[in-house]
Amino acid sequence: MPSNVIQWFPGHMAKAKRQMEENLKKVDFIIEIRDARMPYSSKNPLIDEMVHQKPRLVILSKKDKADPKRSEQWIQAMNNEQTRAIAIDLIHDNFRSRIIQESLELNRAFIEKQKKRGIRPRALRAMIVGIPNVGKSTLINSLAKRKAAQTGDKPGVTKSLQWIKVGPELEVLDTPGVLWPKFESQQSGLILAALGSIKDDVVHMDDLALYCCQYLMDHQPEALLQTYGLSKLEETPWQTLQAIARKRGWLLKGDIDENRTMRTFIQDIRSSKLGRITWEIPTSEQEEIGA
Protein backbone atom coordinates (compact mmCIF):
# COMPACT_ATOMS: atom_id res chain seq x y z
CA MET A 1 0.00 0.00 0.00
CA PRO A 2 1.39 3.45 -0.86
CA SER A 3 2.84 5.48 1.98
CA ASN A 4 1.82 8.93 0.77
CA VAL A 5 -1.63 10.30 1.45
CA ILE A 6 -3.59 10.84 -1.76
CA GLN A 7 -4.15 14.49 -2.57
CA TRP A 8 -6.35 15.93 -5.32
CA PHE A 9 -8.05 19.32 -5.30
CA PRO A 10 -8.45 20.83 -8.80
CA GLY A 11 -8.83 24.58 -9.05
CA HIS A 12 -12.44 24.49 -10.25
CA MET A 13 -13.37 22.61 -7.10
CA ALA A 14 -11.92 25.32 -4.88
CA LYS A 15 -14.05 27.81 -6.81
CA ALA A 16 -17.11 25.58 -6.37
CA LYS A 17 -16.55 25.50 -2.61
CA ARG A 18 -16.56 29.29 -2.49
CA GLN A 19 -19.76 29.37 -4.60
CA MET A 20 -21.43 26.88 -2.27
CA GLU A 21 -20.56 28.92 0.81
CA GLU A 22 -21.97 32.06 -0.82
CA ASN A 23 -25.27 30.34 -1.69
CA LEU A 24 -25.91 28.41 1.53
CA LYS A 25 -27.93 31.28 3.02
CA LYS A 26 -30.43 30.88 0.17
CA VAL A 27 -31.41 27.29 1.05
CA ASP A 28 -33.40 25.61 3.84
CA PHE A 29 -31.66 22.24 3.77
CA ILE A 30 -29.06 20.12 2.02
CA ILE A 31 -29.51 17.13 -0.27
CA GLU A 32 -26.25 15.22 -0.11
CA ILE A 33 -25.60 12.38 -2.52
CA ARG A 34 -23.22 9.61 -1.57
CA ASP A 35 -22.32 6.35 -3.27
CA ALA A 36 -24.09 3.42 -1.57
CA ARG A 37 -20.99 1.30 -2.16
CA MET A 38 -18.90 3.67 -0.01
CA PRO A 39 -21.19 5.76 2.23
CA TYR A 40 -18.34 6.88 4.49
CA SER A 41 -15.66 7.65 1.91
CA SER A 42 -18.04 9.43 -0.46
CA LYS A 43 -18.95 11.88 2.30
CA ASN A 44 -17.26 15.25 1.87
CA PRO A 45 -15.89 16.67 5.17
CA LEU A 46 -15.95 20.18 3.66
CA ILE A 47 -19.74 20.01 3.54
CA ASP A 48 -19.92 19.64 7.32
CA GLU A 49 -17.79 22.73 7.75
CA MET A 50 -20.12 24.76 5.53
CA VAL A 51 -23.67 23.59 6.28
CA HIS A 52 -23.45 23.54 10.09
CA GLN A 53 -26.91 22.70 11.51
CA LYS A 54 -29.01 22.73 8.34
CA PRO A 55 -31.18 19.61 7.93
CA ARG A 56 -29.79 17.08 5.51
CA LEU A 57 -31.34 14.47 3.22
CA VAL A 58 -28.67 11.89 2.39
CA ILE A 59 -29.27 9.92 -0.79
CA LEU A 60 -27.27 6.74 -1.21
CA SER A 61 -27.07 6.42 -4.98
CA LYS A 62 -26.21 3.34 -7.02
CA LYS A 63 -28.02 1.08 -4.55
CA ASP A 64 -28.29 -1.52 -7.31
CA LYS A 65 -24.50 -1.94 -7.10
CA ALA A 66 -24.31 -2.13 -3.29
CA ASP A 67 -25.11 -4.89 -0.80
CA PRO A 68 -28.74 -4.18 0.23
CA LYS A 69 -28.17 -5.38 3.81
CA ARG A 70 -25.20 -3.05 4.21
CA SER A 71 -27.21 -0.16 2.73
CA GLU A 72 -29.91 -0.67 5.33
CA GLN A 73 -27.28 -0.71 8.08
CA TRP A 74 -25.90 2.61 6.84
CA ILE A 75 -29.37 4.16 6.64
CA GLN A 76 -30.11 3.17 10.23
CA ALA A 77 -26.73 4.52 11.35
CA MET A 78 -27.26 7.91 9.69
CA ASN A 79 -30.90 8.63 10.54
CA ASN A 80 -31.47 11.19 13.29
CA GLU A 81 -33.51 14.36 13.93
CA GLN A 82 -31.48 16.45 11.49
CA THR A 83 -30.74 13.77 8.90
CA ARG A 84 -32.83 11.40 6.81
CA ALA A 85 -31.17 8.80 4.62
CA ILE A 86 -32.56 6.78 1.71
CA ALA A 87 -31.05 4.48 -0.92
CA ILE A 88 -32.14 4.74 -4.55
CA ASP A 89 -31.25 3.53 -8.01
CA LEU A 90 -30.95 6.72 -10.03
CA ILE A 91 -31.37 4.92 -13.33
CA HIS A 92 -34.34 2.62 -12.70
CA ASP A 93 -36.22 3.91 -9.64
CA ASN A 94 -39.14 6.35 -9.87
CA PHE A 95 -37.87 8.44 -6.97
CA ARG A 96 -39.04 12.00 -7.70
CA SER A 97 -42.12 11.92 -5.46
CA ARG A 98 -40.23 10.10 -2.71
CA ILE A 99 -37.55 12.78 -2.55
CA ILE A 100 -40.23 15.48 -2.37
CA GLN A 101 -42.00 13.65 0.46
CA GLU A 102 -38.75 13.00 2.35
CA SER A 103 -37.88 16.69 1.97
CA LEU A 104 -41.25 17.75 3.35
CA GLU A 105 -40.93 15.35 6.30
CA LEU A 106 -37.38 16.49 7.05
CA ASN A 107 -38.52 20.13 7.10
CA ARG A 108 -41.85 19.58 8.86
CA ALA A 109 -40.88 21.78 11.82
CA PHE A 110 -39.90 24.63 9.50
CA ILE A 111 -43.16 24.34 7.55
CA GLU A 112 -45.25 24.29 10.73
CA LYS A 113 -43.41 27.33 12.04
CA GLN A 114 -44.30 29.23 8.87
CA LYS A 115 -47.96 28.25 9.19
CA LYS A 116 -48.15 29.34 12.84
CA ARG A 117 -46.75 32.73 11.89
CA GLY A 118 -49.46 33.06 9.24
CA ILE A 119 -46.99 32.68 6.41
CA ARG A 120 -48.10 30.66 3.43
CA PRO A 121 -45.49 27.90 3.05
CA ARG A 122 -43.30 28.52 0.03
CA ALA A 123 -41.36 25.92 -1.92
CA LEU A 124 -38.55 24.39 0.08
CA ARG A 125 -35.11 25.28 -1.20
CA ALA A 126 -32.32 22.74 -1.16
CA MET A 127 -28.72 22.69 -2.28
CA ILE A 128 -27.65 19.44 -3.92
CA VAL A 129 -24.08 18.52 -3.05
CA GLY A 130 -21.80 15.56 -3.49
CA ILE A 131 -18.38 14.48 -4.61
CA PRO A 132 -17.81 13.77 -8.32
CA ASN A 133 -19.34 10.75 -10.02
CA VAL A 134 -22.01 9.89 -7.44
CA GLY A 135 -24.87 10.60 -9.88
CA LYS A 136 -25.70 14.18 -8.95
CA SER A 137 -26.39 15.33 -12.51
CA THR A 138 -28.53 12.26 -13.19
CA LEU A 139 -30.58 13.08 -10.09
CA ILE A 140 -30.99 16.70 -11.15
CA ASN A 141 -32.22 15.72 -14.61
CA SER A 142 -34.74 13.28 -13.16
CA LEU A 143 -36.07 15.84 -10.70
CA ALA A 144 -36.34 18.49 -13.43
CA LYS A 145 -37.85 16.04 -15.96
CA ARG A 146 -35.46 17.41 -18.55
CA LYS A 147 -31.76 17.53 -19.28
CA ALA A 148 -30.95 20.36 -16.90
CA ALA A 149 -27.48 19.15 -15.95
CA GLN A 150 -24.64 17.70 -17.95
CA THR A 151 -23.88 14.10 -17.10
CA GLY A 152 -20.89 11.87 -17.57
CA ASP A 153 -19.37 8.77 -16.00
CA LYS A 154 -16.27 10.62 -14.89
CA PRO A 155 -15.49 13.01 -12.05
CA GLY A 156 -15.90 16.75 -12.43
CA VAL A 157 -18.50 17.06 -15.21
CA THR A 158 -20.71 19.71 -13.57
CA LYS A 159 -18.95 23.10 -13.54
CA SER A 160 -21.58 25.77 -12.75
CA LEU A 161 -24.48 26.65 -10.42
CA GLN A 162 -28.13 26.50 -11.48
CA TRP A 163 -31.59 26.51 -9.85
CA ILE A 164 -34.01 23.74 -10.80
CA LYS A 165 -37.76 23.90 -10.03
CA VAL A 166 -38.87 20.42 -9.07
CA GLY A 167 -42.47 21.43 -8.35
CA PRO A 168 -44.54 23.70 -6.13
CA GLU A 169 -43.03 22.07 -3.02
CA LEU A 170 -39.33 22.00 -3.89
CA GLU A 171 -36.60 23.94 -5.68
CA VAL A 172 -33.02 22.72 -5.79
CA LEU A 173 -29.69 24.39 -6.41
CA ASP A 174 -27.22 22.28 -8.32
CA THR A 175 -23.53 22.64 -7.50
CA PRO A 176 -20.30 21.25 -8.92
CA GLY A 177 -18.91 18.19 -7.19
CA VAL A 178 -16.31 19.00 -4.56
CA LEU A 179 -13.57 16.82 -3.12
CA TRP A 180 -11.50 17.77 -0.11
CA PRO A 181 -7.87 18.85 -0.49
CA LYS A 182 -6.41 16.00 1.54
CA PHE A 183 -7.57 12.47 2.29
CA GLU A 184 -7.02 11.95 6.00
CA SER A 185 -7.76 8.25 5.47
CA GLN A 186 -5.57 6.35 3.02
CA GLN A 187 -8.27 3.69 2.88
CA SER A 188 -10.91 6.19 1.80
CA GLY A 189 -8.63 7.53 -0.90
CA LEU A 190 -8.11 4.06 -2.33
CA ILE A 191 -11.83 3.20 -2.24
CA LEU A 192 -12.74 6.46 -3.97
CA ALA A 193 -10.12 5.85 -6.62
CA ALA A 194 -11.12 2.23 -7.15
CA LEU A 195 -14.77 3.16 -7.70
CA GLY A 196 -14.00 6.02 -10.08
CA SER A 197 -14.44 9.17 -8.01
CA ILE A 198 -10.81 10.17 -8.55
CA LYS A 199 -9.18 10.29 -11.96
CA ASP A 200 -7.10 7.24 -12.79
CA ASP A 201 -3.87 9.19 -13.20
CA VAL A 202 -3.85 10.14 -9.51
CA VAL A 203 -3.29 6.65 -8.03
CA HIS A 204 -1.31 3.66 -9.25
CA MET A 205 -3.63 0.96 -10.56
CA ASP A 206 -1.48 -1.68 -8.85
CA ASP A 207 -2.21 -0.14 -5.45
CA LEU A 208 -5.96 -0.14 -6.15
CA ALA A 209 -6.06 -3.71 -7.40
CA LEU A 210 -4.04 -5.07 -4.47
CA TYR A 211 -6.16 -3.17 -1.92
CA CYS A 212 -9.44 -4.31 -3.47
CA CYS A 213 -8.30 -7.89 -3.81
CA GLN A 214 -7.26 -7.97 -0.15
CA TYR A 215 -10.62 -6.51 0.93
CA LEU A 216 -12.51 -9.12 -1.10
CA MET A 217 -10.34 -11.93 0.22
CA ASP A 218 -11.16 -10.78 3.76
CA HIS A 219 -14.84 -9.90 3.38
CA GLN A 220 -16.26 -11.29 0.12
CA PRO A 221 -14.11 -14.29 -0.90
CA GLU A 222 -17.00 -15.93 -2.73
CA ALA A 223 -17.14 -12.97 -5.12
CA LEU A 224 -13.61 -13.73 -6.29
CA LEU A 225 -14.13 -17.49 -6.42
CA GLN A 226 -17.38 -17.34 -8.38
CA THR A 227 -16.52 -14.49 -10.72
CA TYR A 228 -13.20 -15.89 -11.84
CA GLY A 229 -13.85 -19.60 -11.44
CA LEU A 230 -11.14 -20.15 -8.87
CA SER A 231 -11.04 -23.29 -6.75
CA LYS A 232 -9.30 -21.47 -3.90
CA LEU A 233 -7.73 -18.16 -2.95
CA GLU A 234 -3.99 -17.75 -2.62
CA GLU A 235 -2.16 -16.47 0.45
CA THR A 236 -1.60 -12.91 -0.80
CA PRO A 237 -3.63 -10.57 -3.03
CA TRP A 238 -0.83 -10.49 -5.61
CA GLN A 239 -0.80 -14.29 -5.81
CA THR A 240 -4.60 -14.30 -6.09
CA LEU A 241 -4.46 -11.74 -8.91
CA GLN A 242 -1.86 -13.90 -10.65
CA ALA A 243 -4.20 -16.88 -10.40
CA ILE A 244 -7.03 -14.79 -11.85
CA ALA A 245 -4.80 -13.65 -14.71
CA ARG A 246 -3.85 -17.22 -15.59
CA LYS A 247 -7.49 -18.31 -15.40
CA ARG A 248 -8.59 -15.48 -17.70
CA GLY A 249 -5.59 -15.65 -20.03
CA TRP A 250 -4.30 -12.18 -19.23
CA LEU A 251 -0.82 -13.15 -20.34
CA LEU A 252 2.01 -11.53 -22.25
CA LYS A 253 4.62 -13.78 -23.85
CA GLY A 254 3.58 -16.59 -21.55
CA ASP A 255 3.85 -14.53 -18.36
CA ILE A 256 1.32 -12.48 -16.41
CA ASP A 257 0.37 -9.24 -18.18
CA GLU A 258 0.49 -7.20 -14.98
CA ASN A 259 -0.82 -3.96 -16.48
CA ARG A 260 -3.79 -5.66 -18.13
CA THR A 261 -4.52 -7.71 -15.01
CA MET A 262 -4.65 -4.72 -12.66
CA ARG A 263 -6.68 -2.52 -14.99
CA THR A 264 -9.15 -5.23 -15.99
CA PHE A 265 -9.68 -6.28 -12.37
CA ILE A 266 -10.52 -2.69 -11.36
CA GLN A 267 -12.79 -2.33 -14.39
CA ASP A 268 -14.60 -5.52 -13.36
CA ILE A 269 -15.18 -3.95 -9.93
CA ARG A 270 -16.46 -0.68 -11.40
CA SER A 271 -18.85 -2.49 -13.73
CA SER A 272 -20.14 -4.68 -10.84
CA LYS A 273 -19.04 -7.94 -12.45
CA LEU A 274 -18.17 -9.21 -8.99
CA GLY A 275 -21.71 -8.56 -7.74
CA ARG A 276 -23.26 -6.08 -5.33
CA ILE A 277 -20.49 -5.11 -2.94
CA THR A 278 -20.35 -2.42 -0.26
CA TRP A 279 -16.76 -1.53 0.49
CA GLU A 280 -17.36 -0.15 3.96
CA ILE A 281 -19.10 -1.41 7.09
CA PRO A 282 -20.65 1.03 9.59
CA THR A 283 -18.56 1.37 12.74
CA SER A 284 -19.10 3.62 15.74
CA GLU A 285 -16.46 6.04 14.45
CA GLN A 286 -17.89 6.10 10.93
CA GLU A 287 -21.42 6.55 12.23
CA GLU A 288 -20.30 9.58 14.18
CA ILE A 289 -18.28 11.15 11.34
CA GLY A 290 -20.20 9.73 8.42
CA ALA A 291 -23.75 10.64 9.44
Tell me: the pLDDT tens digits for 38-67? 999 998 777 877 877 899 999 999 999 999
Sign of the CA dihedral running 202, 205, 207, 210: positive
Tell me: the pLDDT tens digits for 97-122? 999 999 999 999 999 998 999 988 88
User: Structural domains in the chain?
Assistant: 11-182 (3.40.50.300), 186-270 (1.10.1580.10)
**Tell me, what's the pLDDT at 244?**
98
Sequence letter at residue 182 = K
Indicate the pLDDT class of residue 237, thresholds 50, 70 and 90: very high
Range with lowest mean pLDDT among 67-81, 167-181, 206-220 = 167-181
DSSP strand pairing (170-174 vs 124-130): parallel
Tell me: the pLDDT tens digits for 166-208? 889 999 987 755 655 456 678 888 998 899 887 777 788 999 9
